[in-house]
């Protein structure tokens, strides 16, 4: 839906001219054109999806705002024939006197200037207030109407609110706009070939409001429809026919965009559609790019190496990749190479024959590599693997065979190997701590997951993880959110998740999660700033701004309690007083 304007202009005088040229007279009641019951019933059957969408999406809003007023919600078809109306019965009787009832046709050339007929002619939102009606008999009502467009851009009807003149105001015009948007979105998601919905917004809070951009793709991953807002977010000459991958690529060029995808209920979908986006982010380009690339190589006999700081979510990325691959029904076996003792790593990975060493199981051990047969073997912290084990792993990669410790028999395996590390493997190779030949075997595709401080979707991510742990209606306070944005998050997602989990438990059912709810050992690094005055170095303007911002946030969070502010920031009360006076907060 294109955002419409109800502002008056030349259209009103043009409409009056058209009414006059149609042979209508202001003081003469126009002829009523009413369809027969059978024809009306057929039209209602043809428009059933639109009627159902209005009942589901528009009528609840109308009832909430105007059900007790002398107003009616009216739906017409594309030829101005009233299909259905809802509202106060007593007002319906007054409208019946001017033929504003089911089956009546309200084209402008038949009824003169009116919101329904004129909106049809203008193909935009129109508000006709009292005396603006061409026919005198219609001037006791005020009407706001807007065209309804289907998924392919065709006009499918008019949605109108008609009220007593004294009851009509700007709120009704905005209400019509909102209802039309919701109805058009509903029609969009019901197209038969639709399988996947992509929602676009500038802020996560808008993603499910009905005012997000919406793109619908079929089970083959091609765009088949979209709303007008999506066109504004992605100014492409023609979205229809693009692949979902192309849509996401175009979306990433827009600064600050976030998006989410989900399969449409009851619709078929293929792996291609589902793999078009990753649920591990809310609009971060680098994660989406990594996801797209990784999906293309999994199952193609190409090793995957994932780089990234500790806590960025490498393990979660691999789990999601496994669930989206052709190997999802086969095991995902994870080995943390840094957590196993060096003398046990080889037997843990490759297995061992019965009696291979003192303390060995009498039946032998299959080993993690053979356990992953037909599935995925995830070698986390691969940089910690001893050189001896690296040599044997190279054989597995080259020959796809495993020889258990203490055995001379080899076993064929079919595995996808994914390795991950927070270390610089190329540097380890130069230092002789990692085999060069293994390095080049592992890095068939190298992807890097961004640190939390580098992500483009931080605020949406903060909200999403908070929702996972906090009360449904609880929100992050502005002061806390400001600290989150400025914090460097050395522990990345693991640090964020732990902090929000603990703080949410402490906050309980409080409406806001605040700095007060964070334990001191977690709060201290979050607020670590150079708040104290420095005699040796004058802070830069950016640093001074950040320091003052932190001080003011903590001051507000603690309702001006200087002792608490001093304790939280770890500086003296005199320093706090001095800075607040300098900022003009204290006299």
Residue 499: partners with Cβ closer than 8 Å, 6 or more residues away: 518, 522, 526
* Span 117-149, pLDDT tens digits: 999 999 999 999 999 999 999 998 899 999 999
Which has more pLDDT, 153 or 435? 435
Q: Over 50: is that where the pLDDT of 443 sits?
A: yes
Helix (H) or strand (E) holding 552: helix 541-557
9 burial via Cβ count (<10 Å: 0-12, 13-18, 19+): exposed
Q: Is the pLDDT of residue 519 over 70?
A: yes
Output the pLDDT for position 584: 66
Query: Residue 84's beta-bridge partner residues?
Result: 75
pLDDT in tens, 239-292: 888 887 777 767 655 555 677 777 775 544 443 444 456 778 877 878 988 998
Higher pLDDT, 113 or 234: 113
Q: Of 184, 320, 187, 199, which is closest to residue 248 (Cα–Cα)?
A: 199
Mean of pLDDT over the chain:
84
- Cα–Cα distance for residue pair 376/381, rounded to 1 Å: 16
Strands 223-226, 475-476: pairing is: unpaired
Q: Which residues pair with 105 in a beta bridge?
A: 81
Gyration radius of the chain's alpha carbons? 33
The pLDDT value given to residue 58 = 94
- Give the other-Cβ count within 10 Å of 48's Cβ: 10
Q: What is the pLDDT of residues 24-64, one digit of tens each?
A: 999 999 988 999 889 999 999 999 999 999 999 999 999 99
Average pLDDT over residues 174-198: 90
Alpha helices in 123-211 (DSSP H): 170-189
488-504 mean pLDDT: 94
Per residue in 314-327, pLDDT (tens digit) is 999 999 999 989 99
Neighbours of 483 (CB within 10 A): 22
The angle at the Cα of 500, spanning 496 to 505, to the nearest 5 degrees, equals 155
Q: Which helix (H) or strand (E) holds 290?
A: helix 285-297
> 3-class DSSP state for residue 164?
strand
Task: Name every residue whose Cβ is closer than 8 Å to that of residue 361 and which is 6 or more positions away in sequence.
Answer: 352, 354
pLDDT at 339 (0 to 100): 86
| pTM as predicted | 0.53
On the 0-12 / 13-18 / 19+ scale of CB atoms within 10 A, 509 is exposed
CA distances (Å), 227 to each of 45, 124, 156, 242, 445, in order?
25, 16, 15, 15, 37
Q: Residue with structure tokens 């024809």?
A: 39
Closest CA to 451 of 497, 396, 493, 504: 493
What pLDDT, on the 0 to 100 scale, is given for residue 1?
A: 45
Cα four-point dihedral sign 279, 285, 286, 289? positive
Res 87: pLDDT: 86
| Residue 76 banded pLDDT, cuts 50, 70, 90 | very high
Q: Which of 19-33, 185-199, 436-450 has the lowest mean pLDDT?
A: 185-199
3-state helix, strand, coil in the chain (%, to 5): 45, 15, 40
Residue 3 pLDDT grade (very low, low, confident, very high; cuts 50, 70, 90) = very low
pLDDT at 534 over 50: no
pLDDT single digits (tens) 218-232:
877 888 888 888 887
pLDDT the model gives residue 445: 94
Q: What is the mean pLDDT of residues 327-339?
A: 92
SS (H, E, C) 296-344: HHCCCCCCEEEECCCCCCHHHHHHHHHHCCCCCCCCEEEEECCCCCHHH
Helix (H) or strand (E) holding 126: strand 126-129
Cα–Cα distance, 342 to 414 (Å, whole number)? 25
- Reduced to 3 states (helix: H, G, I; strand: E, B; else coil), residue 466 is helix
How does DSSP assign 219-260, residue by residue? TTSBEEEE-HHHHHHS--S--TT-BHHHHHHHHHTSTT-EEE
Q: 54-58, 152-156, 330-334: which has the minimum mean pLDDT?
A: 152-156
């Amino acid at each position: 839906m294109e955002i419409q304007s109800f502002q008056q202009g030349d259209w009103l005088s043009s409409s009056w001219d058209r009414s006059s040229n149609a042979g209508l007279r202001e003081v003469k009641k126009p002829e009523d054109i009413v369809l027969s019951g059978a024809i009306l019933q057929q039209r209602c059957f043809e428009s059933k999806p639109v009627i159902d969408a209005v009942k589901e999406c528009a009528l609840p809003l109308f009832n909430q705002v105007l059900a007790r007023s002398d107003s009616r919600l009216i739906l017409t078809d594309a030829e101005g024939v009233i299909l259905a109306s809802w509202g106060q019965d007593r007002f319906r009787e007054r409208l019946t006197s001017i033929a504003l009832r089911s089956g009546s046709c309200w084209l402008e050339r038949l009824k003169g200037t009116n919101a329904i007929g004129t909106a049809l002619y203008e193909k935009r939102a129109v508000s006709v207030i009292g005396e603006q009606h061409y026919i005198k008999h219609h001037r006791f009502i005020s009407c706001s109407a807007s065209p309804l467009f289907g998924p392919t851009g065709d006009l499918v009807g008019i949605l109108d609110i008609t009220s007593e003149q004294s009851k009509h105001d700007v709120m009704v015009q905005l209400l019509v706009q909102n209802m039309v948007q919701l109805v058009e979105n509903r029609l969009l998601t019901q197209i038969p070939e639709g399988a996947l919905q992509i929602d676009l917004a500038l802020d996560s809070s808008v993603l499910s409001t009905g005012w997000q951009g919406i793109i619908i793709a079929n089970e083959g991953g091609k765009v088949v429809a979209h709303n007008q807002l999506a066109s504004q977010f992605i100014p492409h000459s023609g979205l229809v026919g693009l692949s979902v991958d192309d849509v996401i690529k175009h979306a990433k060029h827009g600064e600050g965009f976030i998006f989410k995808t989900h399969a449409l209920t009851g619709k078929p979908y293929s792996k291609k559609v589902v793999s078009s986006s990753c649920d591990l982010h809310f609009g971060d380009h680098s994660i989406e790019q990594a996801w797209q690339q990784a999906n293309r190589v999994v199952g193609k006999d190409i090793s995957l190496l994932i780089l990234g700081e500790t806590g960025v979510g490498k393990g979660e990325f691999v789990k999601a990749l496994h669930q989206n691959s052709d190997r999802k029904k086969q095991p995902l076996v994870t080995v943390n190479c840094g957590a196993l003792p060096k003398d046990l790593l080889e037997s843990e990975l490759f297995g061992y024959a019965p009696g291979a060493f003192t303390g060995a199981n009498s039946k032998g051990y299959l080993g993690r590599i053979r356990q992953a047969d037909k599935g995925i073997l995830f070698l986390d912290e691969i940089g910690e693997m001893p050189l001896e084990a690296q040599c044997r792993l190279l054989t597995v990669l080259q020959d796809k065979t495993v020889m258990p410790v203490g055995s001379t028999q080899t076993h064929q395996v079919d595995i996808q190997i994914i390795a991950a590390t927070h270390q610089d493997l190329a540097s380890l190779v130069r230092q002789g701590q990692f085999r060069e030949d293994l390095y080049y075997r592992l890095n068939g595709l190298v992807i890097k997951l961004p640190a939390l401080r580098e992500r483009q979707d931080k605020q949406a991510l903060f909200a999403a993880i908070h929702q996972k742990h906090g009360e449904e209606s609880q929100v992050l306070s502005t002061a806390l959110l400001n600290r989150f944005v400025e914090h460097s998050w050395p522990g990345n997602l693991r640090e964020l998740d732990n902090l929000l989990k603990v703080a949410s438990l402490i906050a309980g059912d409080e409406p806001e999660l605040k700095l007060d709810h964070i334990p001191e050992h977690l709060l201290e690094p979050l607020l670590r700033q150079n708040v104290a005055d420095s005699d040796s170095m004058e802070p830069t303007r950016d640093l001074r701004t950040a320091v003052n911002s932190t001080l003011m946030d903590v001051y507000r969070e603690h309702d001006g309690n200087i002792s608490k502010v001093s304790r939280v920031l770890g500086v003296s009360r005199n320093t706090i007083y001095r800075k607040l006076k300098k900022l003009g907060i204290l006299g």
